[in-house]
Amino acid sequence: LNGRPGNWFGASLPEHFHVPARLADKPRELIETVNDWHFAMINDLPRNEFYQRALKNIVTPESVVLEIGAGSGLLSLMAARAGAKHVIAIEANFEMATLATQIIAANKMESRISVINKMSTEVSADDFPEMPTVLVSEILGTLLLGESALHYVEDARERLLAPGAAILPATGTQSITLVESDEIRDITAVRSWEGIDLRHFNALQDTTSLVFTKQYGFRFSSC
Of residues 147, 154, 183, 194, which has the active-site annotation?
147
Contact between 112 and 63 under an 8 Å Cβ cutoff? The reply is no
Contact between 158 and 123 under an 8 Å Cβ cutoff? The reply is no
Name the phi and psi angles at 113, rounded to 5: -125, 125
Query: Is residue 138 flagged as an active site residue?
Result: yes
Maximum distance among all Cα pairs of the chain, rounded to whole angstroms? 73
Q: Which amino acid does the sequence have at 159?
A: R
Output the CA–CA distances (angstroms, integers) from residue 122 to 68, 76, 109, 125, in the order listed: 12, 20, 25, 10
CA pair distance 79, 136, nearest whole angstrom: 9
Query: Is residue 15 flagged as an active site residue?
Result: no
Output the CA–CA distances (angstroms, integers) from residue 51 to 9, 79, 203, in the order listed: 33, 9, 43
Name the phi and psi angles at 32, rounded to 5: -65, -40
Of residues 29, 122, 138, 154, which has the active-site annotation?
138
Active-site annotation, residues: 138, 147
